[in-house]
Structures are given as structure tokens and as C-alpha cells.
Amino acid sequence: MNVLLIGNGGRENAIAWKIFNSDSFRNTDSRLFATQTNPGMKKYSESVDIAPDNIKGLIEFSVREKIELIVVGPEKPLALGIADEFEKKDFKVFGPRKNAAEIESSKIFAKRLMMKYNIPTASFREFSRDSIDQAKEYLKDCKFPLVFKADGLASGKGVMIAENIIEGEDILKDFYEGNFLNEAADNFIIEEFIEGEEVSVFAICDGTDFIVLPYSQDHKKISDGEKGKNTGGMGAVAPVKKFMTEDLNEKIISKIITPVLNALKSEGREYKGCLYCGLMIKDNEPNVIEFNCRFGDPETQAVLPLIKSDFLEMLYSASTKNLKNYVLEVNDLNTCCVVIASGGYPDKFETGKKISGTEELDDNCLLFHSATKSGIDEDKEELVTAGGRVLSVVGISDTSPEEAIKSAYENVNKISFENKYFRKDIGFRIVNKNGV
């Protein structure tokens, strides 16, 4: 089967690795192409120099290369309608159409849908740049902390949390003056802060049936102890067993995944692909913090090593309404993914720093590239940093989460570049420690 993977970050490096190692790929005459591959993806896929949002160019390429499955990694092409355009030409796509992807591309749409169908989520109010005065008045009666979310896509950086009214007014000022996220924040919501344990749930959906992958836990704040600004995610662990009871598991399916998929369907927005449910567990009850229309990054790097059954077959079954015949098998392993970032991220940072040590990692540890490129001296396979989140190092253990965390950090310490930054406490919530 010829497969085209859209995207080139850490998540797509993990997806390429997993497709490449699927029996249905290896044992057949198959090719995997990916858009503008980063150096880590080169082992598994052939690079196609077409941007992920050049849908016309990607369709022309897919016709030429007889692509049988398109797998879409990032949200932006989905929000632009890449699945709709490919499906019009009879291609099979893993990823939702534009009207279903709106569950991520508009937080206001997602919130209204949850309210209408009684899906548990934080209470909220909608505002726009034109109603800043009303928002200011509203703050006076609110309990803090309070969460501010831009309506549009913001690469994981559209959420701000105010601890008190002064911080709240500063955030409103930024929204009003357009300092923050431009059009993505023309409309925004202010929502209740929910305390609890965060869990990321990936539901693989085919429009009718769904399967749930092992749960993971992301660490979104930039600093240890969940402090500082939100990022796209600084590390993740999987599976999450510590506070996941059978009862909670059942509630996630019956109160969240099933009703939201039914809701989307009854609104004419049938969902196919990976539905990411970002949940906050409070008093053994799940609440939705956000929905995303794709796999999470870095959760994917932690979750995919746990899948034992054929991954490519899973993606294909979801794209062809055949999930009921797919049997998901998982490995009895623990993983810990630590993201190595450029110092300064998520604000200003420098790129082009020479990376060393990537060849020295232990055999049972995985390395996925998020933002790297080949240096000037390509013959020496020189690698340099090319973005905020640079590499994902995944420790794996068949004994305990503690061992997976230890392995991840031992290997993170083998890699160096100027201003390298990483959190030192990934996984602390599932092992009850304050760092390693």
C-alpha cells in the first residue's frame, strides 16, 4: 500500500516509525511518503517537497503515485478541509472532514456542542474583541483562577490562566490590543478553572465505531511542577493507571466519547480519524478541557510504542469504516517521552544550534525528531535545531513507569546543544515523586 503522511514533527516521526514497522507495510510492496520530512523521519519515509497546506499539490502527487491512504498529522490542513478535498477524488483519508475538525478549530463550537448534548465541561462565557467592556465587568464576579481561551487555532498556546483579577485584566488588554494571536483571538471564552488530574485520550473513529488507545498524561507547562506558560507539551507518560479505575473508564466512554461522536453525527459532522479528548479528572468524574481533531504531540510518541497490533491496518480500517473488524492489542510496557526544547521556548528562542549525542542512545530507547534539520556539512550527518520543541526521547520499560522515566532521562542527558532545555519532572504525577 502506498501511504502519504502529512506533517513533519515529533508526532509524525512516531507515526512514520509505527507505519514502517507494521506487518501490513513490511510484508507487502508498500511505500511511505511524507511531506518535507525532518531528518528523523528519513529512515522510514520518502520526502515529498510539498507543504502540508498545499492541498492541490498533494492531490496531484497522490494521483501520480497511486496513494491508497492519506494520514493527516496536524490540525491546520484538517481545518482547511484537506480530508474533504481528497475524498472528493475518492482517496481514503485518516482524519476528519472540515466540519468535524471544527471541534478543534473553534473552541466556541466545541463548547456549544458540549452544552447542547450535556457533555461534562467547565462552565464558560463567550466574548469578542468588541465586547471587552462586558468581559471586564464579568471578571468582577468571577472566582479565580480563571481560564481564557482563544476561539481559533493557536498551536497549543491559545490558553492563558489568570490567578487574580489584575492578571485577568492584563489578558483582556492583550486580547483587545491584538497583541495576542491576532484573528485566533477575535472571539474567546472565559471558563471556570477545574482542578484535578489531566488525561489525554485518543479515540480512533470510523464514523460509526471507535476504539480507545491506552491513556496518556501530557505536561503542558514550560516549568517543573506545572508552572509557567502553556506549551504544546513538554513530555508525556503512558499508560496512565494510577487513578484510572474501571468505573472512570466506563464514564469516559459513556459520558464523553459516545455522546460527542453521536452529537457530531446528528449535526451532520460524522467523525473519522483520531479524536483527542483532553480531560480533567475531578472527584472521579471526567470533564472535557478540550477536543482536538488529531493525535496529540508529544502523547503520540508515548502511546504508539504500546500498540502491539498492526498500526497501519488500524488507520486503514478507520478510514474505510471497518474498525469493528480490527482487534486492538497492546504491549504491557510503560513509556516516558521527554521533549528537549530550545531555551526560551515557548517565547523567543534561537535555532541552528549544533546537536550532538543522538547516536549514543540506548538500543531500547526511541528518539523522534520534532524540529531538526541537517546541518551544512550533510556528509557528516550534522544535525541542527530548527524550532522550539526539538527532539522527543522515549524511555521504555517492561517493569515500571519509574524505569521508563529513568531511561528517558539517562538518554536525554546524552544529547547536547547550546541552550538545551527540558523539564526534569515528566511523569511525576503517576509515580508520586517530585522529579528524578
Nearest CA among 14, 40, 20 for reference residue 386: 40
Q: Least distance in Å: CB of 195 to ligand GLY?
A: 19
d(CA 293, CA 153): 11
Is 299 one of the binding residues for ligand AMP (CB under 6 A)? no
* Residues in contact with ligand GLY by the rule CB under 6 A: 156, 218, 232-233, 292, 296-297, 299
CA 85, chain centre distance (Å): 23
Phi and psi angles of residue 13, each rounded to the nearest 5 degrees, phi first: -65, -40
Partner from ligand GLY, ligand AMP, none contacting 191, C-beta within 5 to 8 A by type: ligand AMP
Amino acid at the residue 300: T
**How far apart, in Å, do the first and last CA atoms of the chain sit?**
43
From candidates 122, 244, 307, 333, binder to ligand AMP by CB under 6 A: 122
Cell numbers of 144, please?
Answer: 479565580
Strand 420-421 relative to strand 334-342: parallel, antiparallel, unpaired?
antiparallel
Cell numbers of 10, please?
Answer: 515529533
Q: Least distance in Å: CB of 240 to ligand AMP?
A: 14
> 342 vs 392, which CB is nearer to ligand GLY?
392
> 20 vs 276, which CB is nearer to ligand GLY?
276
Nearest CA among 276, 329, 327, 335 for reference residue 303: 335
Q: Least distance in Å: CB of 227 to ligand AMP?
A: 12
Partner from ligand AMP, ligand GLY, none contacting 233, C-beta within 5 to 8 A by type: ligand GLY
Partner from ligand AMP, ligand GLY, none contacting 299, C-beta within 5 to 8 A by type: ligand GLY
Q: How far is CA 340 from CA 23, 58, 135, in A?
A: 31, 31, 38
> What residues between 269 and 288 interact with ligand AMP by CB under 6 A?
278, 280
Q: Least distance in Å: CB of 219 to ligand GLY?
A: 9
Phi and psi angles of residue 288, each rounded to the nearest 5 degrees, phi first: -85, 125
Q: How far is CA 213 from CA 148, 299, 306, in A?
A: 30, 11, 9
> 233 vs 346, which CB is nearer to ligand GLY?
233
Is 339 one of the binding residues for ligand AMP (CB under 6 A)? no
Among all residues, whose Cβ is closest to ligand AMP?
290
Cell numbers of 431, please?
Answer: 509515580
> 56 vs 227, which CB is nearer to ligand GLY?
227
From candidates 206, 270, 290, 310, binder to ligand AMP by CB under 6 A: 290
The three-state secondary structure class of 323 is helix
Partner from ligand AMP, ligand GLY, none contacting 395, C-beta within 5 to 8 A by type: none
> 39 vs 73, which CB is nearer to ligand GLY?
73
Amino acid at the residue 264: L
The angle formed by the CA atoms of residues 232, 302 and 236, to the nearest 5 degrees, is 45
> What residues between 169 and 198 interact with ligand AMP by CB under 6 A?
191, 193-194, 198
Is 147 one of the binding residues for ligand AMP (CB under 6 A)? yes
Which 8-state DSSP code applies to residue 359? G
CB atoms within 10 A of CB 183: 12
> 278 vs 395, which CB is nearer to ligand AMP?
278
Which 8-state DSSP code applies to residue 93? E
> 22 vs 216, which CB is nearer to ligand AMP?
216
What residue ranges bind ligand AMP (CB under 6 A)?
122, 147, 149, 156, 159, 191, 193-194, 198, 220, 230, 278, 280, 289-290
